[in-house]
Amino acid sequence: MLRLLMQSIYELAGDDTLDEKSAHFSSIVMRNSAGVARWGWTCHCYSQSQSSSSFTTIPGLYQGAQTHLVNMALLAKIRPCSKSVAWLQPMRPSMRRNLYLAPPYLLDDYIPRYQRLSSVDASKKRSLAYAHLRECNLCPRLCGVNRYEKTGVCLIGAETVKVGTIAPHFGEEPFIQGHNGSGSVFFSGCNLRCVFCQNHDISHTRNGFDLTPEELAEWYMKLQTVGRVHNINLVTPEHVVPQVVLSILHARELGLRLPIIYNTSAFDSLESISLLEGLVDIYMPDFKVWSDRTSKRLLKADNYAEVAMESIKAMHEQVGDLCFTSDGIAKQGIFVRHLVMPGMQEEGKHIVKWLAENVSKDLMVHIMEQYFPRAHVGKPRRSRPSRDGSGLGDTEMSSKDGEQVRYADINRPVDLDDVAVVKKAAQEAGLWRFVEASRHGGFNI
């Protein structure tokens, strides 16, 4: 096999100076035309007459397959060069997949972290969850209430959680939803009050049905056995972390084997992230805004950016950069989203620069362009006067229809030029693992 492979490479390369000793073998994923993942051995050769390595393709070496030859040892040590990172045109999807599935980000197999937790540690986490419910300080609101007796800002008690929807979800990134969907659990309520919330009909209300942690765990099992989803995706769980912890521990005993995704606004306390250690496989935080003034006005939280920075760093310390199995499905790591909003590209530039400099340049990032006015944005202005006495409050005169509306500055879809500015800033900061929009709809990775 070695001689046949080397002979094929000699013929294709047409270079007499290739040295058999310089051939480096490594295991990579080969994808045939139907997109089926296969394991195989490939060879990357160095020419003695060249100082740099290059990609080589051997079509027909395996019938019906196109094999991309990648120097995996090299990719394990370095990121793309600074010149390639600075390119505004994204890499081809096939090349990008090979980079993402290189050894630093490729897992041969994966066992969820909660299944590796010792029974002693599991018992400690269960006790801590009950203790936090009696004096709630697991979100930055720090209400300190006994949730068995009354509720805090989130309006959710101790014994049950409010759930809006539980179902396989196909609106996530491709490495999250896969072919069978992401098993999403949308919790009602939230510890933020984003005026533009894209999911406000669930997050801003207490609509839904009540579930105990044990019942929630049984739903996880249904998603696994009936839905055959790729993961359990907990959406807006910041205010119900104790119940989430109890549900994961119970599902572990029932035989759950799927990765747990913590899909958060990043408005989490360090105590909350500490309690989740060993239970969550993938953290998926949003980093919404940068300035305190903006967070106070649009999120109704004075210190959002400070809290988000602390929590995202703690998440990364727990699980590291995003990793995949050979089928291209994410199994462990952190993946950060940023929704670009109208006229707020400067805040986005600060966010991506901070992520590159303080978390990791290998961080997987999705710079999103899906913003659309929702919730309170664009509604007729309230009659109450503003704090500065102008009488306009959080409103301006809408140039579209001449009517005074709330949050008129963000009462429009985002400009794609603003999105491009943030993406360029991310590349210049050294980030390179992006989710790119596909011209056929959906996303490429």
* pLDDT digits 0-9 by tens, 7-23: 444 444 444 444 443 33
Instruction: Report d(CA 238, CA 268) in Å as an integer.
Output: 6
Instruction: Report d(CA 336, CA 422) in Å as an integer.
Output: 14
Helices (H), 55-212: 72-77, 82-86, 93-100, 119-134, 174-177, 200-203
Domain coordinates of the chain in residue numbers? Answer: 2-78, 113-372+413-444
100-122 per-position pLDDT tens digit:
666 788 888 899 999 999 999 99
Helix orientation angle between 241-254 and 119-134, rounded to the nearest 10 degrees: 150
Q: Which residue has the tokens 């596909």?
A: 438
Q: Which residue has the tokens 């992006």?
A: 434
Q: Tell me the pLDDT of the chain averaged across its residues.
A: 78
Instruction: Report d(CA 103, CA 173) in Å as an integer.
Output: 21
Residue 286 in contact with residue 339, Cβ under 8 Å? yes
- Share above pLDDT 90 across residues of the chain, in percent, rounded to a whole number: 52
Question: Residue 173 pLDDT more than 80?
Answer: yes
What pLDDT was estimated at residue 444? 52
Q: Which residues pair with 406 in a beta bridge?
A: 395
What pLDDT was estimated at residue 387? 52
Encoded amino acid at 434, one letter: F
CA atoms within 13 A on the CB side of 263: 19
Instruction: Give the pair of three-digit tokens for residue 20.
Output: 């058999």
Reference 261, options 433, 112, 104; nearest CA is 112
278-314 per-position pLDDT tens digit:
999 999 999 999 999 999 999 999 899 999 999 999 9
Q: Which CATH architecture has domain 113-372+413-444?
A: Alpha-Beta Barrel (3.20)
Model pTM score: 0.76
229 pLDDT tier (thresholds 50, 70, 90):
very high
Encoded amino acid at 165, one letter: T
